[in-house]
Structure formats: structure tokens, C-alpha cells
Structure 1
């Protein structure tokens, strides 16, 4: 089965979370008709339906008007649909085809692939655990999880890579996230290998197995001469992963997050001499 592109999933979430002002005693659009219509659009965006088919459905739909009953404010609904159609016509949604298979990397025990909306429950299990998120000053709320997820989808769209879902091959469950991301470290734009795993799967070597694979991806596919890992100075477990990747400390810097100044180490590893990037497919 072909995975739904992240940009379409993002638009589906945007439609799902849309809100409109309610009119009283003046013309509006039927609440039930608009809600049912948006549910159809969400289903179409998450399915293999062609973009032209979604656009045709959006442009052809008309809603009953209300006068004495509650309705949605007409101009808000119309503007939302027009904006959605404009986004669907952009090349990133309508024409973009992934150059890399959705299943990006396989290791002896793991698979790394792009994250989708179906992975949100597993992502929440990671980000909403206090102990797992100690380096981030505690568990995330739902809004913070959504922002994190949308940042990942944006990275897929803009960079063709990002934090990937880490799947345990034996069970098919998502046990963590790991991948290359663009970061500012020590005043430079760099590629960082990030990793964050469900606490139930700590101390089994999964983080280092995934991080090693991502390190090779950065050297081979992204043609990086150096990769980084930024680690809070209290996060001993993450430091150990960086060290086992062969990284050494190159500097120290502070980050402010959730109102707290957090000292960090900048770990890095240079591409070994004689290590040539993999040839790129045209």
C-alpha cells in the first residue's frame, strides 16, 4: 500500500481542526452540511484519491443557508475552502513524488520510515512521559505534541528528511523516533542526528542501532562531512548514545526552552577519510 504523503496528512489535520464562527439571526451555512462535507474531504485527503477529484468536490459543493437557525459564518467557510484549494494546487501537494521509498532504512531489528498521523498515539506515549521528557522539563501537552508532529512533517516537505518513526520489525510497533534534522549549533547550520525512544524500550541498544543507521544516511545520502548531536548536560543516556556513535564534544552552549536555560554539549563526528558518499540516482 502506498503511504499518504505528509503534506496531504497535514492538510487533512487542518481541515479536521477547522473552526468557524456561529451566526445567529442572520444568514449562515448549515452546520450539519458543512461538518459532513469536511469529514468527506478529510477522508479523501487520507485516501489515494486524485487531487483533481478533491478539487472538483470542493468547487462543486453548495451549502443550504440558514436564517433563524444557527449556522456557520459564510465568508469564513468560503475563505477556508478557497485557501484549501490554493494549497492543493501547489506543487508540494499536487505534483511532488518522493524520491526515497517511504521505508527509508532497515537495520537488523528496526525499520525507519516517515511518520504519519496514524503514529500520533505512539508519539504521544513518548512525548507525554515525564521521565522520557526530563531533558525537556517534563511531559508535553496535546498542543505541544501536535506542534512537534507538524514540525516533523514540515521537515519532510522542505528537506526530504527529518525525525523518522522507528519501527520494531518483530512486532510492527513504533518504539521511538530518530533521524537527521537541520539545527543551529554553535552558531552554524548543521545536520543533527536526533533520537528519542519510548521508555519501555530503553537499555536494549535500539537508540544506538537507529542512530548509527542515520549517521550513515547523513554521510552517504546527504553528503555531510560532519554530523552533530546536541545533548543537555544532565542527559547521561543520550550522551552515551552520542559517544557510542563515535562522537566527541566540540563545544558547549545554552538553549532556553519552556522558560528554562539549559546547558548543552555539542557532540560531533567527522566523516571518515576515504568514505565516499553513495552515488545519487537521477
Structure 2
């Protein structure tokens, strides 16, 4: 478990379903990722990807004792390279909580796991790209018309990365 001033970051448990579904079923929150999830999709994702495979972390707001965010934290086939990503409940946007949590996850990857690199991707999402830059990540490239959005339009996929040697 990781702890920041306002959050706890831990592995998911079955009791996280309601809060995770609140996030994943919101069309605005899911706008630049995937179509909103129904209950069956959320449960399958929680039980498989989050709990069984342990490829994601839950962000808990200390004061509210509520799950407010999902963090993708997955090692890649390449040794010591981790993919990160985040989706937060919109009620907690613009409060610095995603930065606080992701900064802790990145530091953990480099200092505790000996990561060589962390990377993230975004589909033309200004908020996510802004956070990636604030976290010290650099733009590494763009795949043109790589993914379709919820309306079926082709969108560019932007890659950002941070090397361990960049961390103090």
C-alpha cells in the first residue's frame, strides 16, 4: 500500500465494485477511453484485471473513505518497463488528487521496483496530457488515427514516457 497526504493506494478488493462502477459507468469520465461500462463489464474487469491479475490499483480518498480512482499499473514484456494510466471519479477532478496519487505510483516504480521507464498514452485528452507533463513525462510519439472514439471517429494516440534516470 502507498500513502500520500490525501490518498491511500492499494490493490482492489471485491467491495470496491460500487465505487468503481460509479466511475466506469459515467460517459463523461470514460469519454477518452472506452464506452461506459454496464454492471457486468465492471464486475468482470474488477474480478479479472484488477483483482486476479493485479494490474491496477485503487485510489482511496482518506477523508471520504471512498474509492475515487483507478490506476493502471502494469509491467510490460520488457523488463522494468511499466505502463501507467488513470481514471478518476469526476467529483474529485481538479483537486490535485490524480497528480498526488500518480506521483506516488511513479516514485514507487522507480525507487522500490527499480523501473527503467514508465509510460502512458492518451487519446487527444488535454487533461491527461497536462498531467503527464506535470509528472515530468515527455512526449515520445504519436500514432495517427490509431483508435476510434465513442462516436466512431478515428483519433490519434499520444505516448509519453519518463526514464528512471530523470528522477532525483
TM range (shorter): 0.7 to 0.9
CA distance in 2, matches of 1:274, 1:191: 15
Per-residue CA deviations over 1:90-118 (Å, capped at 9, x if unaligned) read xxxxxxxxxxxxxx100011101111110
State the structure with more CA Rg: 1
List gaps (5 residues or longer) in structure 1.
1-103, 157-161, 276-282
List gaps (5 residues or longer) in structure 2.
none
The structure whose RCO (Cα within 8 Å, separation 6+) is larger is 2
Q: Does 1:151 align with 2:42?
A: no
Q: Does 1:112 align with 2:22?
A: no
More strand by share: 2
Counterpart pick for 1:247 among 114, 137, 145? 137
CA distance in 2, matches of 1:145, 1:203: 25
Counterpart for residue 142 of structure 1: 39
Superposition misfits of 4+ residues, deviation over 6 angstroms:
257-260
Per-residue CA deviations over 1:51-86 (Å, capped at 9, x if unaligned) read xxxxxxxxxxxxxxxxxxxxxxxxxxxxxxxxxxxx
CA pair 263-147 structure 1, distance change in 2 beyond 3 A = farther
Counterpart pick for 1:236 among 120, 126, 137? 126
More helix by share: 1
State the TM-score, normalized to the length of structure 1.
0.53
Match runs of 1:246-265 below 5 Å = 246-253=136-143, 254-255=146-147, 261-265=154-158
Count of residues paired in the alignment: 163
Counterpart pick for 2:85 among 194, 197, 211? 194
State the TM-score, normalized to the length of structure 2.
0.86
